[in-house]
């Protein structure tokens, strides 16, 4: 909390005010078209301490609360406000594989599973009332293949996939669909968050893109590629018959599964 309040204002403008203004502008068109609103929040807004970025966390908490109030207000006009859970990171602690301390396992579970459960519990009444959708961002690491360097992350994502299946059966009876999206390689800050340098991350993405044994499509995905799948699953007019499924968007990686045995990929993970 040592940051100047100007930093707080900047966070609020970017993460809250901009969303409010956009919704206000789009509202007449959304009401007319019976459209959808999907806000991307962050686990930083959940009831846990993000002491390094308190102003960002405050902004995301405000966004989450706005979503709940807005869902009640707009459902009366035929506009649904949907819930997208975008929690995810792989924590490592200096060791690899199952040599990691169990505290690392707990941290992975808290971020990738517990946070999603808590958010769904909070949003459930509003989702039932609005007949909304839940789309969780999982990972191909949760699929039945070995991610030996990050087993705790893979375990968390597998748990998230299984939770989704059980929840889908429970909530479809109340008119709420639940599905997952499991991305493969996507150009984000994910490698850097694991401790890989910018230069190494760029090299890693470049290697994956040019290695058909790791990525048959030859192109590392962008956030928009995943967002399009999320938008499809959140649009009941397009995907109403999809319930309790994990949609894999990985450019074909899980068809070959060679990336996990690739020496360059493994070398980067060993360096963390």
Give the pLDDT means over successive 10-residue stretches in the chain (272 positions). 70 80 84 82 67 75 78 80 60 51 80 86 89 93 77 87 92 96 90 81 90 90 94 94 96 75 53 48
Rounded-to-integer distance, Cα 133 and Cα 127, Å: 7
Neighbouring residues of 263: CB distance < 8 A, sequence distance ≥ 6: none
Per domain, the residue ranges of the chain are 79-270
* pTM across the whole model: 0.66
Note the pLDDT of residue 32.
85
CATH of domain 79-270: 3.40.50.720
Rounded-to-integer distance, Cα 49 and Cα 51, Å: 6
Note the pLDDT of residue 94.
46
Note the pLDDT of residue 164.
92
Note the pLDDT of residue 33.
82
Note the pLDDT of residue 161.
92
Cβ neighbours, 10 Å, residue 105: 18
Note the pLDDT of residue 186.
94
Write down the catalytic residue from 17, 55, 114, 152.
152
Note the pLDDT of residue 177.
96
Note the pLDDT of residue 95.
46
Structural tokens at position 220: 């590392």
Note the pLDDT of residue 9.
81
Note the pLDDT of residue 64.
78
Catalytic annotation present for 152: yes
């Amino acid at each position: 909390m040592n940051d100047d309040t100007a930093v707080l204002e900047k966070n609020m403008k970017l993460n809250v005010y901009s969303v409010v203004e956009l919704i206000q502008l789009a509202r007449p068109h959304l009401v007319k078209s019976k459209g959808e609103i999907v806000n991307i929040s962050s686990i930083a807004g959940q009831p846990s301490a993000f002491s390094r970025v308190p102003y960002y966390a405050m902004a995301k908490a405000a966004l989450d609360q706005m979503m709940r109030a807005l869902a009640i207000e707009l459902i009366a006009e035929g506009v649904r406000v949907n819930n997208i859970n975008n929690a995810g990171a792989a924590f490592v602690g200096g060791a690899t594989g199952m040599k990691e301390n169990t505290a690392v396992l707990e941290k992975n579970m808290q971020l990738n599973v517990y946070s999603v459960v808590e958010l769904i519990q909070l949003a459930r009444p509003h989702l039932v009332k609005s007949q909304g959708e839940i789309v969780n961002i999982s990972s191909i690491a949760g699929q039945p293949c070995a991610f030996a360097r990050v087993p705790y992350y893979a375990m968390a994502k597998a748990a998230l996939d299984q939770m989704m299946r059980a929840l889908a059966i429970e909530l479809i009876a109340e008119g709420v669909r639940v599905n997952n999206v499991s991305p493969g390689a996507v150009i984000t800050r994910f490698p850097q968050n694991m401790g890989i340098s910018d230069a190494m991350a760029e090299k890693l993405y470049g290697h994956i893109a040019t290695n058909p044994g790791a990525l048959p499509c030859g192109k590392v995905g962008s956030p928009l590629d995943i967002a399009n799948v999320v938008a499809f699953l959140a649009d009941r007019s397009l995907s109403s018959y999809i319930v309790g499924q994990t949609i894999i968007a990985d450019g074909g990686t899980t068809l070959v599964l060679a990336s996990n045995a690739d020496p360059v990929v493994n070398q980067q993970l060993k360096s963390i």
